[in-house]
Amino acid sequence: MEKKIRVLVAKAGLDGHDRGAKVVASFFRDAGFEVIYSGLRQTPQMIVDTAIQEDVDVIAISMLSGAHMTIFPKVLDIMKKNGMDDVLLTGGGIMSEEDIKKLEEMGTGRLFGPGSSLTEAVEYIKDWYAKTRGAKES
């Protein structure tokens, strides 16, 4: 049996809008991922702690609050301190192309701004998994 990709869908900070995150979680589940949803108002530390506890392959953060330039770097830093080099940090929401580029240069995976396709996100995660985790398991 093929291992399911484990994805933590997280909502960080004071962003109280979770409809989009729930749509993403449902879409990911339908695509065959095993999804853990964090719930609202998670700190970067809480997100990483949950990722460790749940042994996820991917952390996907949904950001609509505009705090992405604070949250993503903090999550990356905590991930590095915990030796999570083999876990993908991705996400999406209301982010400018310029901010997306800066965050990707800092070490996040691909980020998805307004108008992005969920199918694209699923394919990106599957490709990443096949190239990194899949290679380790065979």
Task: Quick: pLDDT tens for 47-60.
Answer: 999 999 999 999 99
Sheet containing strand 88-93, edge to edge, reads 34-37, 6-11, 58-63, 88-93, 111-112
pTM for this predicted structure = 0.93
Give the domain ranges of the chain: 6-137
pLDDT in tens, 16-39: 778 888 899 999 999 999 999 998
CA distance from start to end of the chain: 13
Q: What is the model's pLDDT at position 137?
A: 54
* DSSP category for residue 36: E
CA nearest to 112, candidates 64, 52, 44, 41: 64
Cβ(12)–Cβ(42) below 8 Å: yes
User: What CATH topology corresponds to 6-137?
Assistant: Rossmann fold (3.40.50)
Average pLDDT, the chain: 91
> Quick one: CA torsion of 50, 56, 57, 62, rounded to 10 degrees?
-50
